[in-house]
Amino acid sequence: MISQNKNLTQRRKDAKYVIIGNSAAGIGAAEAIRGLDGSAPITIISDEPESVYSRALISYELAGWLGPNAKLDLRPLEFYQEKNIQAILGHRAVKIDSAAREVHLDDGHKIPYDKLLLATGGSPQKTAVKGEERRGVFGFRTYRDLLNIHEAIKSAKEAVVLGGGCIGLQAASGLHHHKVKTTIAIASPHLLSQVADPECGDYFQGLFEKHSVAVKTGISPVEFKGGEQVESVLFDDGTELPAQIVITGKGVVPNVQLAEGTKIRVDWGIITDEQMRTDEPDIFAAGDVALTQDRVACKSTVNAVWPCAYEQGRVAGFNMAGVPRKYDGSMRMNAAEFFGVSFISIGIVKPKGEGYESHSRMLKDKGLYWKLVFLRSSGSPQGNILVGAVLMGRVDGAGVLGNLMRKRVDVSSIKDELINGHYDYARVLPLVKRQAGVFEGLEYRETLV
């Protein structure tokens, strides 16, 4: 998967690499380490019994996108064998003894490590709504969740989805696909409120409503009523919606429990440095559990999105294997498609504060929308960097924008082009030519011929 990097230092041939977590970050690290070191022992520990599967595919499976013989495998079943990785699945790591350099499992086993990665991810946030323990109230994160929802669908007539973000909307699409009468109920004034403007959110609301998925905004649940099985949701405005399935979509809480008893500092997520190291030597953190520097927001945050998780795992893996590498920071980024309308949102899209400049265009009958957010760069008063982008209906070229944001380059010379919806790579080429130091790498040089 990864090119052989011959530049190795400080690598111990018999170093034991232990990774807690079997999802994006864990696999990113495992593949990075195995790519650098063909023989060192790698152990992956996960409390989920499933082989490496993509939890990111759950919503697609529910929506029926994966077809009848759906596989959620992130990697083939032979992955562990081929990569010579010891997989301890279905066991929870309960404690880290950083002095003895051991991980304690729930069955009493102790796994020794030389380098340890905490890629423990996050868990769906509890809503603190009364009745959350009733049957039929689900998070939407794990394979178990998916199976449970499928079971519940068999007898459910109505569903309520409490969340207007990408995951919630995907869940709603999925339930709709299975012909469950679904209502999306959110506290925010519009859908996708964290990642898009009202214009865009309202467009999607129209789309969902056109497909008979009701949308209620500005309300919060106060109780999940019913018996053993949830029967309805009561909201703060007095509305009560019958529901045999309730999906809570309040985001994830980083699983930081293993930091207890160690020197590892936690502040919502596990604090990491540029090389994904925690405060404990030889212990790293990556993925939804880790705090990283947000590239555009310029603050420490947990960006719990798939590409960031994998990349953080990869960077951690490099550093664990003794090849120093820096992580240049995370960004919030989401990509989705609802009822045939694509959507990508990256970075800061609802700026608050000084110095931001937003430009957006909605072409409703074409189903097209884009928004770009610039920030006057601190380097020069005339300079502009791109800090946020939303694309709806046509998402090609999003990566070019994301890359500009990531590199924090001054885009003043092409700002008008970007605003007018021209953001193909050719627009960026003049910047690449002028700033070879920023756009380093063989692939950029190939475009300069």
- Report the interface residues with other proteins, using CB under 8 A: 1-4, 28, 54, 56-57, 60, 65-66, 71, 73-75, 306-307, 310-311, 314, 333, 335-337, 340, 342, 344, 346, 395-400, 402-403, 417, 422-427, 429-430, 441-443, 445-447, 449
Min dist CB 288 to other proteins, Å, is 14
Question: How many Cα atoms sit within 13 Å of 393 on the Cβ side?
Answer: 17
Q: Which is nearer to other proteins, 8 or 426 (CB)?
A: 426
Tell me the β-bridge partners of 229. Answer: 135
> Of 398, 390, 385, 357, which is closest to residue 371 (Cα–Cα)?
390
Residue 259: DSSP 8-state: G
Q: Which is nearer to other proteins, 69 or 382 (CB)?
A: 69
Min dist CB 257 to other proteins, Å, is 26
Min dist CB 73 to other proteins, Å, is 7
Token pair for residue 244? Answer: 């045999």
Token pair for residue 369? Answer: 């929308």
Min dist CB 75 to other proteins, Å, is 5
Q: Which is nearer to other proteins, 126 or 433 (CB)?
A: 433
Q: How many Å apart are CA 433 and CA 441, to the nearest integer?
A: 12
> Of 219, 206, 99, 118, which is closest to residue 198 (Cα–Cα)?
206
Tell me the β-bridge partners of 333. Answer: 346
Q: Which is nearer to other proteins, 264 or 286 (CB)?
A: 286
Min dist CB 414 to other proteins, Å, is 8
Q: Which is nearer to other proteins, 83 or 101 (CB)?
A: 83
Show the CA angle centred on residue 32, arms to residues 28 and 34, nearest 5°.
Answer: 120
Q: Which is nearer to other proteins, 24 or 162 (CB)?
A: 24
- Give the three-state DSSP class for 165: coil
CA 158 to chain centre: 28
Min dist CB 54 to other proteins, Å, is 5
Min dist CB 92 to other proteins, Å, is 25
Residues 6+ apart with CB under 8 A from 445: none
Q: φ, ψ for residue 23 (rounded to 5)?
A: -110, -150
Q: Which is nearer to other proteins, 256 or 336 (CB)?
A: 336
Q: How many Å apart are CA 319 and CA 274, to the nearest integer?
A: 10
Tokens 């980083």 correspond to what residue? 254
